[in-house]
Amino acid sequence: MMYKIFTPLLFVVVLQSSCQRVPVTGRKQLNLVPNSLIQSMAFAEYDSIINVTHVLPASNAQTQMVRNVGIRIQHAVENYMNQNGLAKQIRDFKWEYNLIDDKTINAWCMPGGKVVVYTGLLPITQNETALAVVMGHEIAHAIARHGNERMSEGLLIQMGGLVLEEALKEKKQETQVLFLSLYMVGSNLALALPNSRMQESEADKLGLIFMSMAGYDPSEAIPFWQRMASINKNNTPEFLSTHPSDETRIKRLSALIPEIKEKYYVQK
Ligand SMILES: [Zn+2]
């Protein structure tokens, strides 16, 4: 009995106390999970990945390039956060940049600033500026706390599911299963999917801004994404994918670049 009354109240309290704004874009977002908790989980996960993969040594020329790009973007982000009174948000970051010897075309940045690039990406980036496109994008996910937002959504979906389950208790089992599976599809498509695509475009935009602040020409994003497009043979239909199609992305970035370049690009 208490449950039904308590849940909406809890929602209101939680929602009011957990709205934060994404740096630079100013978008309001929901962060229900303490960032300190997310970071400690991320650091543990990071250590376990580093322990079982082939991390190239600091003396490797390509590792040095990855670290150079990372540190330049990190300093640009830190400057921006300091100047805008947001330093606290990244105070507990433990930045680290590693290159892993693996032919996977990938890179990521965990909450808290742990960045990894796979050697498989380098034939496509081909140069330091294009690497900054990718690393800027990945670092943007961490600065915008997208991981926390995704987890918060997951929690809300689960809590919503519990309320629905409660409401369906009196119905027959088959009806329940049907309703719940529809609910899951509905919550995936209506909530999780558009938001994740929204996070992708936000990371694209922030990434261009951060690389520009670090002295990398954001125009390089276009030839880079064109190279990505040419190797993306098994194109997932866009409507079901969390990533925008390369064509959509290139179009959107082309529209953004002139303004970002004028506003943020500092040639170094
Ligand atoms: Zn992304």
CA–centroid distance, residue 197 to ligand 1 (Å): 9
The more confident residue out of 194 and 71 is 71
**The predicted structure's pLDDT at residue 194:** 59
pLDDT above 80 (res 19): no
Q: Which pLDDT value is given to residue 193?
A: 55
Predicted local confidence at residue 267, as pLDDT: 86
Between the CA of 165 and the centroid of ligand 1 the distance, in Å, is 33
Ligand 1 centroid – CA 139 distance (Å):
9
pTM over 0.85: no
Cα–chain-centroid distance for residue 105? 17
Whether 139 and 73 have beta carbons less than 8 Å apart is answered as yes
Q: What's the pLDDT at 242? A: 58
Cα(17) to centroid(ligand 1), Å: 27
Most confident range (mean pLDDT) of 19-23, 42-46, 214-218, 247-251 is 214-218
Q: Tens of pLDDT along 212-240?
A: 999 999 999 999 999 988 887 655 555 55
How much is the mean pLDDT over the chain?
Answer: 84
By CB atoms closer than 10 A (0-12, 13-18, 19+), residue 112 is buried
Say which residue, 9 or 237, is predicted with more confidence. 237
107 Cα: distance to centroid of ligand 1 (angstroms) = 9
Span from the CA of 114 to the centroid of ligand 1 (angstroms)? 15
Q: Ligand 1 center to residue 54 CA distance, Å?
A: 23
Instruction: Compute the distance between CA of residue 189 and CA of residue 157 in angstroms, rounded to an integer.
Output: 12
Span 78-85, mean pLDDT? 97
pLDDT tens readout for residues 147-184: 888 888 777 777 777 776 776 676 666 666 666 666 65
Cα 254 to ligand 1 centroid, rounded to whole Å: 18
Can you tell me the mean pLDDT for 241-256? 83
CA 173 to ligand 1 center in whole angstroms? 39
Task: Calculate how far, in angstroms, residue 111's C-alpha sits from the geometric centre of ligand 1.
Answer: 13
DSSP the chain: -HHHHHHHHHHHHHHHHSEEE-TTT--EEE--S-HHHHHHHHHHHHHHHHHHS-BPPTTSHHHHHHHHHHHHHHHHHHHHHHHTT-GGGGTT---EEEEE------EEEETTTEEEEEGGGHHHH-SHHHHHHHHHHHHHHHHTTHHHHHHHHHHHHHHHHHHHHHHTTTS-HHHHHHHHHHHHHHHIIIIIHHHHHHHHHHHHHHHHHHHHHTT--GGGHHHHHHHHHHH--SPPPGGG-SSPPHHHHHHHHHHHHHHHHHHH----
Cα 87 to ligand 1 centre (Å):
23
CA 267 to ligand 1 center in whole angstroms: 26
Distance 13 CA to ligand 1 centre (A): 31
| Cα 207 to averaged position of ligand 1 atoms, centre (Å) | 10
pLDDT of residue 18: 67
Contacts (Cβ under 8 Å, ≥6 apart) of 262: none
For ligand 1, the distance from its centroid to the CA atom of residue 105, given in whole angstroms, is 13
pLDDT band, very low/low/confident/very high, at 119 (cuts 50, 70, 90) = very high
Per-residue pLDDT at 129 exceeds 50: yes
Question: Cα–Cα distances in Å, from 104 out to 101, 120, 195, 224?
Answer: 9, 5, 26, 17
In the structure, what pLDDT confidence band is assigned to residue 136 with cuts at 50, 70 and 90?
Answer: very high
Residue 195 has pLDDT above 80, yes or no: no
Cα–Cα distance for residue pair 179/173, rounded to 1 Å: 10
Per-residue model confidence (pLDDT) at position 58 = 96
- How far apart are the CA of 201 and the centre of ligand 1, in A? 8
Q: What angle do CA 260, 30, 71 make, to 5 degrees?
A: 45
Q: Given this model, what pLDDT does residue 232 score?
A: 72
Q: Quick one: pLDDT at residue 112?
A: 94
Tokens 């119905």 identify what position? 171
- What average pLDDT does the segment 113-121 reach? 95
